[in-house]
Amino acid sequence: MTYEETLHYLYTSIPVFQHSGASAYKPGLGTSIALDDYLGNPHKAYKTIHVAGTNGKGSVSHLLAAILRQSGFKVGLYTSPHLVDFRERIRVNGKKISQDYVVDFVERHRSFFEPLHPSFFELTSSMAFEYFRDQQVDYAVIEVGLGGRLDSTNIITPILSIITNISLDHTQFLGDTEEKIAAEKAGIIKKGVPALLGEAEKQSVYDVFKNKAEEVGAPFYYAQRMDMVKDECRLTVGGKWFFPSVEYGEIQGELGGEVQVRNAVTVLSAIHILRTELGVDIIPEAVHEGFAHVTKLTGLMGRWQTLRSKPTVICDTGHNVGGWEHLAEHLKVLRQYCGQIYMIVGMVNDKDIDGVLSLMPQDAFYFFTQASVERAMPVEDFAVKAMRHGLSGTLCDTVQDAVEKALRRARENDLIFIGGSTFIVADALPLFMKEDEYKLDEYGIWLVHQRLRLVQRISLHVDHWWYRSG
């Protein structure tokens, strides 16, 4: 099979949560264990770091991978979902898994896994674990797909377990309270393995993790009490964060958005544990380089990413209430320094849509749209909900249509925000690439053929503003 044929096989032969949602969700570890045993338990060939959480786990995973890489280690990185290319999910030292490897993996093992009827994520996780073994990585940073306890990745025994935070998301699978969701995510905490909690807004949520760690005999750390940042963090005119860290001095962070302050505290705490408690040789220069150049080192996209200037176009994959609480605050501040704000937004059916809409700015002009996935809420239904929250604008059948209309309307000092869903961002990203950098296959998956040249600078007229962490 060709690479395109292999993708067709994967997308049509096994359920894909990214596209179908609940019908593709397959809880439990039985199939993952069977696949792992068949492959000879590849994840045992290297050390792993396991990262769960409602928001921030992608940024934290990429930052850790970047820092470990710059410390001289060969690092695997497994994340989901992908935005542009399936191969974004599986990287070694920032380089995507090859098309040939994907094809070969499926052809070699399909006779075994087809009778098991694995989910897309189960099969992809197995592919990642074997690829990292074949590449002889030193460390692999493994991002949980959904939840924790029953997630396919939870067959590993890491050297460090990280839970970034908890908010309401995927409630149909994980529970309808933050405490129930916390209990599911606490399932990655294992006997004797240090566990780090990034933040918990409620004492009851904190207690879930603390009690689980005590129950299984895992050393427990809470990032907000580790004093990794000694003073106020600041955002400058260039859209860069400066973190006054205790151990490494002032660190410049490439990733934008208020939430990155909290992510930085979690990452710095994780690095402290890895270095002082687990003996991982992480050099100070690597910490600075990892924060400053994470997108180049890991290929991270979609986290308050600037796609163009004049007008400034920013995208962000935040898609739940927890994420939008931070996005709303950042947009509120930026509103003071730009002209009109235009919002290109859509969501999927299985999210807290009303909760997110209640946080979106009412003084913006909206281009309501829908992503090219089955889970997308039809634009007509989404617009009706949005208007009930006082949001007004126009309807666009596709993200491309919305982007084209917004660009025609916006002036140089205006801001265009693209988000509401990971899949809205995924549909938008290729529109800002050069035509020779991509093609669209028949399954709606954009395949990148050359290096992405997305504009990474921001031109917002912000002197600076301050955010107090913790």
DSSP string, 367-392: EE---SSTTBPPHHHHHHHHHHTT--
Lowest mean pLDDT among 205-209, 256-260, 348-352: 256-260
| Topology at the third CATH level for domain 305-453 | Protein-Tyrosine Phosphatase; Chain A (3.90.190)
Q: Tokens 């090859």 identify what position?
A: 98
Q: What is the pLDDT of residue 19?
A: 46
Q: What is the pLDDT of residue 263?
A: 93
| Element housing 204 (H / E) | helix 203-216
Q: What is the pLDDT of residue 285?
A: 97
Q: What is the mean pLDDT of residues 63-74?
A: 98
Lowest mean pLDDT among 190-199, 346-355, 398-407: 346-355
- Rounded CA gap, 330 and 262, in Å? 14
Buried b (16+ CB within 10 A) or exposed e, 413-446: ebbbbbbbbbbbbbbbbbbbbeeebbeeeeeebb
Band of the pLDDT at 410, cuts 50, 70, 90?
Answer: very high
Question: Does residue 48 have a pLDDT over 80?
Answer: yes
> Hey, where are the domains in the chain?
3-298, 305-453
Q: What is the pLDDT of residue 3?
A: 95
Count CB neighbours of 34 within 10 A. Answer: 16
pTM (2 d.p.) = 0.83
In the DSSP assignment, the letter for residue 348 is B
Q: Give the residue with greater pLDDT, 461 vs 86.
A: 86
Q: Following DSSP, what letter does each residue of 78-125 receive, concatenated?
A: E-S--SS-GGGGEEETTEEPPHHHHHHHHHHHHHHHGGG---HHHHHH
Lowest mean pLDDT among 119-123, 266-270, 348-352, 414-418: 348-352
Question: Does residue 274 have a pLDDT over 70?
Answer: yes
| Chain centroid, CA 243 distance in Å | 21
Q: What is the pLDDT of residue 59?
A: 93
Q: What is the pLDDT of residue 239?
A: 61
Q: Give the residue with greater pLDDT, 83 vs 26.
A: 83
- Whether the CB-CB separation of 458 and 26 falls below 8 Å is answered with no
Q: Give the residue with greater pLDDT, 271 vs 460.
A: 271
- Rounded CA gap, 82 and 222, in Å? 30
- Whether the CB-CB separation of 146 and 33 falls below 8 Å is answered with no
Q: What is the mean pLDDT of residues 291-316?
A: 92
Question: Does residue 103 have a pLDDT over 80?
Answer: yes
Specify which of 120-134, 167-181, 432-446 reaches the highest per-range mean pLDDT. Answer: 120-134
Q: What's the pLDDT tens digit per position in 216-270?
A: 999 999 999 999 998 888 876 556 789 999 999 999 999 877 778 889 999 999 9
Q: What is the pLDDT of residue 166?
A: 87
Domain 3-298, CATH among 3.40.50.620, 3.40.1710.10, 1.10.3720.10, 3.40.1190.10: 3.40.1190.10
Q: Is the dihedral of CA 423, 428, 431, 434 positive or negative?
A: negative
Triad 136, 137, 141: Cα angle to 5°: 150
